[in-house]
Chains A and B, each alone.
Chain A
Amino acid sequence: MIDGLVRILVFQGIGEIAAKFVFPLVPGPVIGLVLLLAFLAWRGAVPEGVELVSGAFMRYLGVLFVPAAVGVVMYWPRLEQHALAIAVALVGSVLATIAVSALVAKLAGRKDADAA
Chain B
Amino acid sequence: MRPEFPAIHEIWVYLSGSPLLALVLTLAAYQIGVMIYERAGLHPLANPVLIAVTLIAATITAIDMPYPKYFEGAQFVHFLLGTATVSLAVPIYKGLPSLRGRLLPLAAALLGGGVTSIVTAVALARLLGADETVVGGLYAKSLTAPIAMGVAERIGASPTLTAVFTVTTGILGAALGRFVLDAVRCREWWQRGFAIGVAAHGIGTSRAFSVHPQAGAYAGLAMGLHGVIGAIAIPWAITALR
Contacts and interface: CB of A to CB of B under 8 A. Distances in A.
B16 to A, nearest CB: 16
B157 to A, nearest CB: 12
A112 B102 contact: yes
Given A27-B231, A63-B27, A97-B116, A69 B163 contact: yes
A70 B167 CA distance: 12
A85 B91 CA distance: 35
Contact of B173 (A25, A34, A61, A98): A98
A90 B141 contact: yes
B87 to A, nearest CB: 4
Contacts of B228: 30, 33-34
A27 B104 CA distance: 27
Contacts of B96: 41
Interface string A1-21: 000010011011001100000
Contact of B163 (A41, A65, A78, A99): A65
A88 interface: yes
Nearest to B177: A98
B112 interface: yes
A89 B130 contact: yes
B217 interface: no
Given A37-B92, A58-B91, A103-B184, A71 B232 contact: no
B97 to A, nearest CB: 11
A85 B129 contact: yes
A3 to B, nearest CB: 14
A72 B198 CA distance: 25
A22 interface: no
Contact of B161 (A26, A29, A75, A93): A75
Size class of the contact patch on chain A: 35 or more
A27 B108 contact: no
B10 interface: no
A6 B178 CA distance: 41
Contact of A57 (B80, B110, B117): B80
B163 A104 contact: no
B128 A105 contact: no
A27 B124 contact: no
A27 B235 CA distance: 9
Interface of A: 5, 8-9, 11-12, 15-16, 24-30, 32-34, 36-37, 40-41, 46, 50-51, 53-55, 57-58, 61-75, 78-79, 82, 84-86, 88-109, 111-112, 116
12 contacts: A40-B89, A41-B96, A46-B93, A62-B30, A70-B53, A85-B129, A89-B120, A97-B113, A100-B113, A101-B194, A101-B199, A112-B104
